[in-house]
Chain A
């Protein structure tokens, strides 16, 4: 149970001064990674206000980038407060200190699962205080009153009062220590079909994303970073650039150079005509072949043991037979469709920045650091993001905008081109997976081994620490699995690269799940076992919820049925970010070697589902994103430069290639799990397994591209 607080100051809520008589409740959401106050010093970080005019204003700390959590969170508020859907106004909170807001970061599939309890408690407490206020005014017991759609009713007398008429009195009521939450059967919105709050304005061009934001007198800047990774700016000749009408200034920024102009085209043209002298730096010879060789070399070096069961090293040392396989995953670019951008207006030692970001506090800190001012001097306004997928957890561009604004003495919007984003991404880390299975003399399977060799997001900037510590995050999807391995050895070898890497939707779970679930199919094949049966046996009793999902998708895809010639079925399952999800895939390979995915059957169990259509959206979309990664995407390097730039070199799956995805939603019990990330990991292995079933060809390296048949 969460403690709910009455709030009597509202300066940090950025509401008009003088608004009085509102009921404002706050609640503390505890974040595993957030620095919160000391023990007992809980501070509220989620705020709901009921205004005297009956409107409810909910200040959300979490950005919306298309993942839909804003709608799910609104459902929780509307239900527990018991108000009409339309009466809630949602305002994105300004970035603020973690002590006030907790983590505002949209990442790790956390928004619904972290907020369901506390946000619902705050709303339920507000409802009880409103009911108590009405009961006191009527001189009747609160138990004789009920809340219904923004009103308190006293049924015996038929009297009713709107919430707005009660806010002043309600604010004087004590905050209930244990507000009564609704029973599931009483839910009006949770678990039901509700329209997404952000869709209407996304159908007529009125939604304001980062790049759509405008300020009076705002200039536009296009930036360029060194083409060679780790390079630096030596200087430039702007004679030609300044001939472009509308180009105002060329500005050095920490990360490179910016061309400032009256409008975007002038900035783009000016940048094209700017002659820039770069210092290539230490990575001029870096290549994908060299990075692959490094991972291969590190794969032969002594790894760290992350997990060992049943004396696995001994089992492998004495096994009669072993099969091995190497799985490989490339760097990936997130490539959200809205290009990277930020707007800044620096005035002296304070600044306003407007950023489409997943991490408002990170953007605020980045801008403050760039300006050399205290973090509280930066007001960061979070705007809609046109996609995130982890790309917008970073916010270098807030620094770009702040630096340019300071240099020109006025407001500016900084935009990266598509090419700049692709070539200067924060890529999904490259990884190599050395898999091994051991068998005894009778052919019985006795050991599982997975050695992960990867760039470490955690330790890349602190490799010394990484020499002595396993990056457990990088082993998500490899260790701690529910499978009852006969004996298991999970090993880690850090292999950092000069590329800047970061979380990509589902983070390392996708690479590790690919290797795990595809190699498990190889073992099933070796054992002449049905891959579904083997999985069910390995999960029996250890995770029956994953088991149930596999059974559901197998039934839905028609596992074991006679297939059209050249078709194959494959399946895979994951448990990551608190959510379990299985995919079953029907695929074929045409004469030209092109993989065709005909249908995907998905089943997800993340416990209680607040926003079912949101879960379907995330699963359907996740399949397409993961399919793009499985068949097409890779970032490669030659002469220290990323070789891909636009969508011709970095293609995305298109509608004619997108399979029908059917989603089953299962509630297998508490607690609430994540929804955004789990659809990603099992897609590539399920597809690899389906292609093997169809063709006998095992795909172990992403992207699969064309299959040689």
Chain B
């Protein structure tokens, strides 16, 4: 039992939770941001992915004690108006079906484009294969990443 401070989407939150509480539940239950999804709780699906100090992590695998003081970005912090190139591309390519995995998918795409601004299909496969989608939207994810890469390039 302790107090931890995290900055989520540029807002500071001091939370009083057990040290082993996974970040996903701090975000969803304590901070009140439900865009970060729980899909498996064991780091296999990627739906709970968020940025912690700029690195993409699975928030179900991060205990709060390990991220005290961290700067965190969730899907809600990607843009104020769905205007991020990845969000625009996801809408333009009509990617989500049920949508549950896409907070993680989109942040993974942001991470990929940050590291490789013009990814090849092989780059996309390598970066995105740890993110599961049960509805099977993969080919649209691929197209949307290419589209976003084009937009990022021209921005």
Q: Do A and B come from one complex?
A: yes
CB atoms of B40 and A202 under 8 A apart: no
CB atoms of B76 and A337 under 8 A apart: no
Q: Does B4 contact A (CB under 8 A)?
A: no
CB atoms of A621 and B97 under 8 A apart: yes
Interface residues contributed by chain A, number (CB under 8 Å): 62
CB atoms of A338 and B37 under 8 A apart: yes
Choose from B103, B130, B131, B138 the contact partner of A624 (Cβ within 8 Å). Answer: B138
Residues of B within 8 A of A624 (CB): 133, 135-136, 138
Chain A 261-287 against B: per-residue CB contact (8 Å), 1 yes, 0 no?
A: 001111011000000000000000000
CB atoms of B34 and A208 under 8 A apart: yes
Residues of B within 8 A of A621 (CB): 97, 135-137
CA distance A89 to B124 in the complex (A): 37
B101 to chain A, nearest CB (A): 5
CB atoms of A203 and B34 under 8 A apart: no
Known: A199-B96, A647-B45. A658 touches B39 (CB 8 A): no
Chain B 54-68 against A: per-residue CB contact (8 Å), 1 yes, 0 no?
A: 000000000000000
Residues of B within 8 A of A625 (CB): 134-136
Residues of B within 8 A of A126 (CB): none
B8 to chain A, nearest CB (A): 12
* Residue with the highest number of chain B CB atoms closer than 10 Å, among A265, A337, A625: A337
CB atoms of B42 and A418 under 8 A apart: yes
Residues of A within 8 A of B74 (CB): 205
Which A625-678 residues sit within 8 Å CB-CB of chain B?
Answer: 625, 646-648, 652-658, 660-661
CB atoms of A623 and B78 under 8 A apart: no
Q: Does A336 contact B (CB under 8 A)?
A: yes
Which B1-30 residues sit within 8 Å CB-CB of chain A?
Answer: 1, 17-18, 20-22, 25, 28-30
CB atoms of B21 and A195 under 8 A apart: no
Chain B 116-155 against A: per-residue CB contact (8 Å), 1 yes, 0 no?
A: 0000000011101111111111111110000000000000
* Residue with the highest number of chain A CB atoms closer than 10 Å, among B20, B39, B140, B142: B39
Known: A66-B98, A68-B97, A265-B18. A620 touches B34 (CB 8 A): no
Q: Does B41 contact A (CB under 8 A)?
A: yes
Known: A203-B106, A265-B21, A265-B29. A617 touches B97 (CB 8 A): yes
B121 to chain A, nearest CB (A): 9
CB atoms of B99 and A207 under 8 A apart: yes
Q: Is the interface of B mostly helix, strand, loop or mixed?
A: loop
CB atoms of B94 and A336 under 8 A apart: no
CB atoms of A263 and B29 under 8 A apart: yes
Residues of A within 8 A of B98 (CB): 65-66, 336-338, 384-388
CB atoms of A205 and B36 under 8 A apart: yes
Q: Does A537 contact B (CB under 8 A)?
A: no
CA distance A385 to B100 in the complex (A): 8
Q: Does A682 contact B (CB under 8 A)?
A: no
CB atoms of B90 and A203 under 8 A apart: yes
Residues of B within 8 A of A491 (CB): none
Q: Does A206 contact B (CB under 8 A)?
A: yes
Residues of A within 8 A of B94 (CB): 195-196, 199, 613, 617
Q: Does A198 contact B (CB under 8 A)?
A: yes
CA distance A66 to B21 in the complex (A): 31
Chain A 186-206 against B: per-residue CB contact (8 Å), 1 yes, 0 no?
A: 000000000110111011111
CB atoms of A658 and B87 under 8 A apart: no
Residue of A nearest to B126 (CB): A656
CB atoms of A658 and B44 under 8 A apart: no
Residues of A within 8 A of B103 (CB): 205
* Residue with the highest number of chain A CB atoms closer than 10 Å, among B33, B79, B82, B141: B82
Known: A264-B25, A387-B134. A66 touches B141 (CB 8 A): no
The 5 closest A-B pairs by CB, nearest first: A205-B35, A624-B136, A66-B98, A386-B100, A202-B99
Seen from chain B, the residues whose Cβ lies within 8 Å of a Cβ on chain A are: 1, 17-18, 20-22, 25, 28-30, 32-42, 44-45, 47, 74-76, 78-79, 82, 87, 90-91, 94-103, 106, 124-126, 128-142
Can you list 20 pairs linking A and B with CB atoms under 8 Å apart? Answer: A66-B99, A199-B90, A203-B87, A204-B75, A204-B87, A263-B29, A264-B25, A265-B18, A337-B47, A386-B99, A418-B41, A620-B136, A623-B136, A624-B138, A625-B136, A646-B42, A654-B138, A655-B124, A658-B136, A661-B139
